[in-house]
Amino acid sequence: MEKRYTVGKTAIRLVKGDITKQDTAAIVNAANSSLMGGGGVDGAIHRAGGPQILDECRRIAASIGSLPPGDAVIATGGNLQARFVIHTVGPIWQGGGKNEARTLEKAYYNSLSLALEKELATISFPSISTGAYRFPLEQAAHIAAATVVRFAKENPLEEVRFVLFSEEDFAAYDTAVASLCTG
Ligand code: AR6
């Protein structure tokens, strides 16, 4: 299952699959503020990438304390094909009145900015916050798509890939991206 859209010089690709298997220069982790690992995407990335990832996260946590929701840091990809893992923290859904939408937008935007700063041309995102953090899928997909499209219009990334775990997630992101750009 795969779809491809274009915005400016950037390809936006949607794939159904496992983010740990992606060959982009960076993959994004839907982490928590402790940076000490967890379930979902976070657990899968630590398992597949090996102990180097946690070692580096420990060093980062020792220097910054915790990573606030919406912020992002870049670190090693360990044994993954991706050279870097960008750890970001999405908002925990609390009904929508706690700036969750803005925080989710920041998580995407700050992750994209780190990739650009490091001169990485390709990056993969999971569906941040829609698992354990319970952000409503359609709204999250729209925020993710709008933030990526806005960034792609202004910056020269080659490819932004959304890696979706289920068909339902794939369909929601496809609808959101399709509403914002041409195929
Ligand atoms: N590849 C791609 N997507 C995946 C994978 C995978 N290998 N595994 C799960 N998903 P979640 P969150 C999907 O819970 O909501 C962790 O414990 C999953 O089906 O990973 O931001 C952290 O440590 C869902 O659609 O992230 C935090 O404590 C999406 O990825 C907390 O969960 C996100 O689900 C973060 O929660």
Give the mutation target among 1, 41, 89, 127 for probing the ligand 1 site: most ligand atoms within 8 A of CB.
41
36-91 pLDDT per residue, tens: 999 999 999 999 999 999 999 999 999 999 999 999 999 999 999 999 999 999 99
100 close to ligand 1 (CB < 6 Angstrom): no
Domain ranges of the chain: 2-178
Contacts of 97 (CB under 8 A, 6+ apart): none
Residue 140's pLDDT is 98
For residue 60, the tally of other CB atoms under 10 A from its CB is 16
29-47 pLDDT per residue, tens: 999 999 999 999 999 999 9
- Residue nearest atom 20 in ligand 1 by C-alpha distance: 40
CATH architecture, range 2-178 = 3-Layer(aba) Sandwich (3.40)
Rounded to whole angstroms, the Cα distance separating 125 from 122 reads: 10
Q: What is the mean pLDDT of the segment spanning 122-150?
A: 98
Instruction: Give the predicted TM-score (pTM) of the model.
Output: 0.98
Residue 35's pLDDT is 98
Closest CA to 125 of 78, 79, 177: 177
Residue 183's pLDDT is 61
The conformation of residue 128, written as its DSSP 8-state character, comes to: T
178 close to ligand 1 (CB < 6 Angstrom): no
- In the chain, the percentage of residues whose pLDDT exceeds 90 is 98
12 close to ligand 1 (CB < 6 Angstrom): no
